[in-house]
Amino acid sequence: MKYPSKLIENVVESFSGLPGIGKKSAMRIALHLAGNPEIKSKKFAESLLAMSEHLKTCNECFSYSDSELCNICSNPHRDNFTLCIVESIRDLMAIEETQQYRGKYHVLNGLISPVDGIGPDKLNIHSLVNRINTHKINELIMAIRPCIEGDTTIFYINRQLENTSVKVSLIARGISFGSELEFADEFTLGRSIAERVPYQQNSH
Amino acid sequence: MKYPSKLIENVVESFSGLPGIGKKSAMRIALHLAGNPEIKSKKFAESLLAMSEHLKTCNECFSYSDSELCNICSNPHRDNFTLCIVESIRDLMAIEETQQYRGKYHVLNGLISPVDGIGPDKLNIHSLVNRINTHKINELIMAIRPCIEGDTTIFYINRQLENTSVKVSLIARGISFGSELEFADEFTLGRSIAERVPYQQNSH
């Protein structure tokens, strides 16, 4: 009997099952919320319940959505003719966070991986090809992480588009900002030299 | 508009207001829960709602409780005549986690700090003295962190008990397990030498 209250124990258990939260952090959070039950815990619980009951998948891009179309797909100010292809909704959100992209997305929901039994049919690729044809997409940006499964997926999608005029591009691969050359893998370092870009003042 | 769904955005906001959770972690957790809405989010929300609606304060020890008396105060297997005095419920839980203590607790809910305008009247000290007299407490263990406010509080409580026969003890202060002598403060290191204990085999 480690907790003076079963109510607190339940909250600690809920939190300690989440990614990146250990038991000590969970206890700290539960006590923090117990100190502000009326305001914080209630609003918190309501946001979770609303999500668990009403969250949908966007019919166009397969991201999470509040209705048939997500906030991004239904936004008239975004470029309708560019699609950014991502493996997961997490990657979509990371790109949104940069505020550098104003087109739309398409979430594959995984990468082709024969070893794990994931073929193209299990991913949102068929719907992507349909979407490209229906919406007259000009450019496809493959924002897929560099790995064998990623390269296979890009290769496969590109093959499906051979009869279309859509331009396919890849996000730049190279040395990350702030990282050390000596710790970069040979493949990335080699590629960053082979694909070097002209120096421009104020480009940093 | 960084999120494809307002429902997710609300959950991210709820999490990122918690101690020790940044925006990236909050996003990761929200997506984790969105992936298991039925099971996890619902149970989670219910545990939070139950806590916000039903959490009480124990009439005896001032810890959180599900009813008039907390699980510890109402446990007949715990030593009724020893009280461990703690600053906060968080400290109580940390001690419970060690499984080394089988007595009961008294939560002061702070320390005496004239600078911050916290006098003895704002803490659960009057009730402590009453409790000691009513329940014939034998020993008081001051599990208060070493600091000026802590020492002041211990001094004050000890003064209130001059006419009683209760024994007052302090938790041991010294060098923590795994820490380096060179980084210990002079006060702690000096005290750990002055209050050295006889070596016993198998005492580790």
Contacts of A93 in chain B (CB under 8 A): 2-4, 27, 31
CB contact under 8 A, A51 and B10: yes
- Region label for A157, one of left (φ > 0), alpha (ψ between -120 and 50) or beta (otherwise): alpha
Q: Counting one residue from A and one from B, how many pairs have CB atoms under 8 Å apart?
A: 196
Nearby residues of A147 by Cβ (< 8 Å), 6 or more positions away:
A111
What pLDDT digit, counting tens, does each position of B56-102 carry?
Answer: 999 999 999 999 999 999 999 999 999 999 999 988 988 888 888 89
Residues A18 and A103 reside in one and the same domain: no
Q: Is residue A1 in some structural domain?
A: no
- Amino acid B148 reads I
DSSP assignment string, B62-101 = -SEESSSS-TTTT-TTS-TTEEEEESSHHHHHHHHHHT--
- Amino acid B74 reads S
**Tally of domains within chain B:** 2
CB A159 within 8 A of CB A128: no
Residue in A with minimal Cα distance to B88: A31
To the nearest whole angstrom, how far is the Cα of A62 from the nearest Cα of chain B?
Answer: 10
Residues A159 and A89 reside in one and the same domain: yes
Residues B43 and B90 reside in one and the same domain: no
| Interface probe, candidates B7, B12, B58, B86, chain A, greatest A C-beta count within 10 A | B7
Residue in A with minimal Cα distance to B43: A14
CB contact under 8 A, B3 and A66: no
Residue B157: domain span: 64-203
Q: List B65's β-bridge partners, or say none.
A: B56
Rounded to 5 degrees, φ, ψ at B52 are: -65, -25
Q: No. of H helices and E strands in chain B?
A: 7, 6
Q: Is residue B76 in some structural domain?
A: yes
Residues A74 and A149 reside in one and the same domain: yes
Task: Check residue B202 and give its pLDDT.
Answer: 60
CB contact under 8 A, A96 and B21: no
Q: Is residue B11 in some structural domain?
A: yes
* pLDDT(B203) > 60: no
pLDDT > 90 fraction of chain A, expressed in percent and rounded: 43
Using CB atoms, which residue from A17, A20, A97 is nearest to B25? Answer: A20
Residues B132 and B194 reside in one and the same domain: yes
Using CB atoms, which residue from B42, B61, B64 is nearest to A49? Answer: B42
Q: What is the mean pLDDT of residues B174-184?
A: 79
Nearby residues of B13 by Cβ (< 8 Å), 6 or more positions away:
A47, B26
Residues A49 and A82 reside in one and the same domain: no
- For residue A157, the Cα-to-chain-centroid distance in whole angstroms is 18
Average the pLDDT over each of A4-8, A31-35, A42-46, B39-43 and give the range with the smallest value: B39-43
In the structure encoding, which two tokens stand for residue B61, read together?
A: 């020890």
| Interface probe, candidates A52, A59, A90, A97, chain B, greatest B C-beta count within 10 A | A52
Using CB atoms, which residue from B4, B33, B64 is nearest to A71? Answer: B4
- The 3 state secondary structure assigned to A164-189 is CCCEEEECCCCCCCCCCHHHCCHHHH
Residues B34 and B118 reside in one and the same domain: no
Residues B26 and B116 reside in one and the same domain: no
CB A174 within 8 A of CB A188: yes
What pLDDT digit, counting tens, does each position of B118-160 carry?
Answer: 999 999 999 999 999 999 999 999 998 888 999 999 999 999 9
* CATH, residue A50: 1.10.8.420
Residues A68 and A146 reside in one and the same domain: yes
Given pLDDT bands bounded at 50, 70 and 90, which one contains residue A153? very high
Q: Do strands A56-57 and A64-65 pair parallel, antiparallel, or not at all (unpaired)?
A: antiparallel
* CATH, residue B158: 3.40.1360.10
What pLDDT digit, counting tens, does each position of A155-170 carry?
Answer: 999 999 988 889 998 8
Give the whole-angstrom CA distance, residue A166 versus residue A142.
12
Q: What is the mean pLDDT of residues A146-153?
A: 90
What ipTM was predicted for this assembly? 0.73
To the nearest whole angstrom, how far is the Cα of B103 from the nearest Cα of chain A?
Answer: 13
CB A21 within 8 A of CB B44: no
Residue in A with minimal Cα distance to B96: A2
Give the whole-angstrom CA distance, residue A129 versus residue B177.
61
To the nearest whole angstrom, how far is the Cα of A201 from the nearest Cα of chain B?
Answer: 31
Angle (CA) B35-B37-B40 rounded to 5° is 100
Residue-wise over B122-147: b if at least 16 C-beta within 10 A, else e?
ebbbeebeebbeeeebeebbbbbeee
To the nearest whole angstrom, how far is the Cα of B193 from the nearest Cα of chain A?
Answer: 31
Contacts of B4 in chain A (CB under 8 A): 58, 61, 63-65, 70-73, 89, 92-93
